[in-house]
Structure 1
Amino acid sequence: MTIAATPVRARSFWGRARRCGPWLSVAPFLLIMLIGLILPTVALGFGAFGNGTSDIEAALGGGYRQALWGSLKLSVVCAVLGAACGLLLARAVLAGGGLLRRLVLTASGVLANFGGVPLAFMFIATIGNAGIVTALIRDWTGFDLANSAFSLYQFGGLVLVYLYFLVPLMVIVIAPALDGVRVEWSEAAANLGATRAQYWRLVAGPLLAPPVMAGALLLFCGSLSAFATAQAMVGGTVPLVTLQIANALSGNVSADHEGVGAALALEMIVLVSIVMAVYWTIERRTARWLR
């Protein structure tokens, strides 16, 4: 009986196809990255340096510097508060388990993606100057929230609105890390005479610190890049880089600084890239420790 041999050319073709399979499967994603991220970034670079360094200097000075500091301040405050509240909520929910866990995690997945103008309208209609809750509090207690120290249309109000979607995002990010902290570790520490505080300070704390930091960095990026909610709520009341970019795109810049919008956008890309690089580094270390 004669056994037909597979042609060498066919074997080499299928071998190359198997080797190229992973690249072909991610080719659509790479194409989207090229069209939606790399090419626009290159175009921003040309636009930002089209007039030499004058547009870059303008983006780092004057009112644009104030907007940069405003965005950084807002992002830091939202990241710290969102990480702390999300960590506490996730720990309480995961400890409860059962139906509560499923409900909160499902709701967090929805609320983490709820933002923009609808979110701003919801808060304005609820606790704005003419909101439903504001009117009820005024009618029942005589306290006028609209004339109090808190204002929804200032920095504190913007932080409150941002936390509405940042805290659920933190819950989603930190939940796998909390699940990775095993009960046996706490029991072993107790058997060795460690107190609860010592367990969290010496065992669980160092293990959870990297994912908490990574989650805080992710919230920082989310706050830094958010635009529609701030535009609908505060307009120009709170100086933010994203609002300045919108003004540049709408033509509200001087004629000799037409590239200032590109410089501001490039500035944001550099900031977010640095933060995300740190985030990915921390995530890799966390994944290795919690295996």
Structure 2
Amino acid sequence: MPLTTTGELIAEARQKRTAVAAFNVITLEHAEAIAAGAERAGAPAILQISENAVKFHGGSLTAVAAAARAVAETSRAPLSLHLDHVVSADLFRRAHAEGFSSVMFDASKLTYGENVKATAQAVRWGHERGLWVEAELGKVGGKEGEPPLDAHAPGVRTDPAEARAYVESTGVDALAVAVGSSHAMTERTAALDHELITRLATAVPVPLVLHGSSGVPDKEIRAAVRAGMRKINVGTALNTAFTGAVRAFLEAHPSAVDPRKYLVPAREAMAGTVAHFLRQLEG
């Protein structure tokens, strides 16, 4: 079906008091698996491409965006395209032309004042072109190149009063908050602060986004949605499924050289993971 927009998917989720899952795309197989998993679960999803994924593809957004867009447009599931964790202003400005309806502009490493200024500028530019803009306040941590972060350390969590002021000052359409999760977790052991999520959802008039959801147990994700999370980001869990399937196939078939032989089970493993996460958000 035709691409939908992230804003439309999130608006529907807010109305239903549920959430939409956003899955990271690195390869064509990732995009195909997300579409297949969404169809299997009978649910919408967001295909998101990060700035790190763009770097992996030689710095070119065009090819990976075109592939993800083509997969989404031929899927039976409602899907949108989102450009994630964008630090580069140049990459941010390329999103609209490449078919993205939303961007997560990441100025979280800047001081609060610099973050507000840079994000407000990005939001103004994006809104003039119809882009839905997400930002981050707090320290989720765990991104490539970052030192390990204790998600429970003092000062890491997002403050509700500061979040309200930040949204008012920047005009963002959604806010990623730090409530106990961390990027790149390969074990699902994160414990979320659900009381804080509730306070943030009350304080902030825009949808809340949970980054680092791969490390969050199913029960915690369901509770986070009940508390007010409306966009759930998943990346590492797909890579864990992909790599595990490839490793298992090559261990069983050490002489195999045709990548299609191990990419098929890898894609299927990711599709199963996508469907599983989506089913946690059904209500």
Structure with the higher strand share, 1 or 2: 2
Do the two structures share a fold, i.e. TM-score over 0.5?
Answer: no
Structure with the higher helix share, 1 or 2: 1
Looking at CA atoms only, which structure, 1 or 2, has the larger radius of gyration? 1
Using structure 1 for the length normalisation, give the TM-score: 0.26
